[in-house]
A and B are shown apart, each in its own frame.
Chain A
Amino acid sequence: MKIDLAIIGQGAVSPAGVRIEALLHGEPVPVLVAAHSRPDQPWPVLRVDLKNPAFARWQKEPRLRRASAISFYLVEAAEQALANSSAAERAETGLIVVFSAGCLAYSRRFFEGIITQGQRAASPALFPETVFNSPVSHVAAVLGLNGAAYALVGDEAAWVAGIKTASVWLRQGRVKQVLVLGAEEFDPIVLDAYRAARWLRCQNGSHGFLTSEGAAGVLLRQAQSEDGLVITHARDGLIYRTKKEAGAAAEKLFHAVDPTLTCQHSAQRNWFGSIERRVTHDHPIISSHGSSYLGEAFTASAAWNTLRAIPYLNEKTSRILLPVWGLNHEVGSLELEKRK
């Protein structure tokens, strides 16, 4: 689907640090974390450092006093993207946040409390923060974003759905600009899930992906003549349940794509890597090998990959196709263009 959205702001929080510079050039260091069920068996994990001074300004926000890490990642990434927006512009800003697992840490803690301590131990302080759109509400309230707000759910491909939704709102004139963010937080329970899925293959992290967390986002407006950086196409809706269907969906995604279009590899160490290499073999490739490996954080990864494509647009090519490999059910893509 053709769209015409200018990227006018960017923000990122990742295990490599806070801000875009860290996303592009930082070197995250894995820490060892035990799976919930296997305290004796730690796995390398890429974590965001919540002690980073950048988060200090949000610690005093009354709205965030009970919030979990994901809300802090989001509000910091959002503020970076909105740095050049006035209060009036913020008041006319729509907000779309895409999640895969959302507020996982509090959800796990809340229900584990019920299981292990009994139903009467259920925590009223935790439950409201388990709801998908609670972090969205926090971001809107803390940063004064009065426009429409949606929480969207899915795998990495929900990032594409978020961009398309922004395009709808902007064409309707519901808002002047839209902030689209992806965010995930780590909880040891995901290691149990990934172990069950056999995604964690090697304890030193040399192959198989590393679990990660963070947030990132782009501030978008309907492209104008002076805008230099534009998302021109968004494609999603190719779903799968089995690996075979995933391969077929990937083939379909690339079926009608101009083979001269430069493609940025984004699968990195996840199981889509071999599929990605197969379907993109005719394309000029930009590999993210020059950048550090940030691990897998689902919707946040999709947002990071988009932001990491931008410098290549400035240096090497005027158009990039960015596949968005959803690890759970869907594949999609974005096309970015440098116009000036």
Chain B
Amino acid sequence: MSRRIVVTGLGAVTPLGKNLSDSWAALIAGRDAAAPLELFDTSGYRCHQAACATLPRLPDQSRKAADRLSRASRLALPAAREALAEAGLLNQEGKTLLATLPLCVSTTAGAMAFGEDFLRGVLAHRRSHLFRQAARYLPQHQVVDLQQCCGFAGPSVIIANACASGANAIGHAADLIEVGDADCVLAGGFEALTELVFGGFDCLQATSTDRCRPFDLNRSGLLLGEAAAFLVLETEDHALRRGAKPICALTGYGHGTDFFHLTQPQPEGAELVDVMRRATAQAGIAPEQIGYVNAHGTATPVNDGTEAKAYSIFFGESLGQVRISSTKAAIGHTLGAAGSIEALFAIRALTTGELPPQLNLQTPIPEIAPALVGLNEAHQDLPHVMSVNLGFGGSNAALIFSKYEN
């Protein structure tokens, strides 16, 4: 990259915790958040479980104001604030110190629960409260919530590339900085569980009624989850000038489209391999220099087999040295937030040397078995980590983060 890009703040709300530290501690301890889903009635669906987050309080919002916010915004706001606070960009009132702060966000469903209520209301011939639901289900309103509650303005981009969106949002933020269009960007993703999406994955028989077992020969489907995760990206100069401490560097971003099928990746994983190669080429590193991969690993029969093949091609003989896990077994598949929260987990692995274990593994896919992270593995010194995502429509993305060395 022509400008050195560093990460200076991280924040997350996940089914494992109301902030990144709690989420990370639970993840490393091997906890998973699968539980019966109570947000809406699931009695007619095959699957009845999901990974729900506990919404953090919003101390600066009245109860009435907080109640008016969508669940998506209730997840996104505390995560964004945590990232901004760690970056030293929040004042005591919880407002951003930079008046203008470009924003790159991702989601697949925005505040779809409002849209669902609107349709229910229309079908029931209800007349009141329809406008607010119709107007505020769209993702741009969560952007307005973020900007107004955190007190900043500036251009925003909402990327909806399905399950790769979160990685795309971070990658696009890096692109903006690299070409000189921005010095500092807030980037991340959010996703709240909604019935439309849950019913969609359920009718595709993509959700598991068993435990979520990524990269296991007996995997039977995904666990849906919800989360929000944000990070602050800036040029090294910008960070150092204002006294911020870089956490790591973002060194590579690859993305591309796999045409094979709308909902299935090319079986040999060739397109995903290309995307990872683009990311390592930009980072100027070889695959064997990557110490840990936070894999997409949905635990669907099609995805994980293809992904395992792609890793075996990409890493070749060094596959035995790299450590790989999918954290979706613990927090579920958070769709538009997945690429962001998984990037944050990869960064935590980079900075702490701790590795998130591959949960619920019984019979690993042979091609990838030696690389899957076991429980309580020893700390590792990782120079570079990668976060990989694949999405509906063939959206693939890979991000590489590297240790920050001044």
Contacts and interface: CB of A to CB of B under 8 A. Distances in A.
B293 interface: no
B392 A172 contact: no
A232 to B, nearest CB: 15
Contacts of A151: 159-161, 393
Contacts of A237: 100, 102, 153-156
A156 B31 CA distance: 44
Nearest to A102: B160
A171 interface: yes
Give the residue among B107, B122, B144 with the most A Cβ atoms within 10 A.
B122
A192 B263 CA distance: 32
A172 B175 contact: yes
A102 B110 CA distance: 12
A49 B240 CA distance: 58
Contacts of B178: 172
A236 to B, nearest CB: 5
Nearest to B180: A171
A118 B119 CA distance: 15
Task: Find the residue from B110, B118, B143, B161 having the highest chain A CB count within 10 A.
Answer: B161
B360 interface: no
A237 B176 CA distance: 14
Contacts of A158: 140, 158
Interface stretch (B59-67, B211-219, B253-261, B363-371): B253-261
B130 A168 contact: no
A142 to B, nearest CB: 9
B394 A137 contact: yes
B243 interface: no
Contacts of B156: 154, 161, 237, 239, 330
Interface in B130-151: 130-131, 134-135, 138-141, 143-144, 147-148
A172 B254 CA distance: 13
Interface stretch (A12-20, A105-113, A208-216, A306-314): A105-113
Nearest to B103: A237
Interface residues of A, number: 68
A37 B134 CA distance: 14
A57 interface: no
Contacts of B144: 239, 241, 329
A248 B315 CA distance: 54
Interface stretch (B69-77, B193-201, B283-291, B344-352): B193-201
B202 interface: yes
Contacts of A116: 123
A149 interface: yes
Interface string A72-84: 0000000000000
B251 interface: no
A171 B181 CA distance: 11
A110 B159 contact: no
A15 B148 CA distance: 37
B392 A128 contact: yes
Interface of A: 1, 36-37, 63, 95, 99-102, 107-108, 110-112, 114-116, 118-120, 122-124, 127-134, 136-138, 140-141, 145-146, 148-155, 158, 161, 164-165, 168-169, 171-172, 189, 192-193, 196-198, 236-239, 241, 328-330
Given A107-B196, A151-B159, A237-B153, 11 more contacts: A114-B195, A120-B44, A122-B45, A132-B161, A133-B395, A150-B168, A161-B155, A169-B175, A236-B155, A237-B154, A238-B153
9 closest cross-chain pairs (CB), A and B: A119-B44, A137-B393, A237-B155, A127-B200, A132-B160, A122-B203, A193-B134, A196-B130, A141-B259
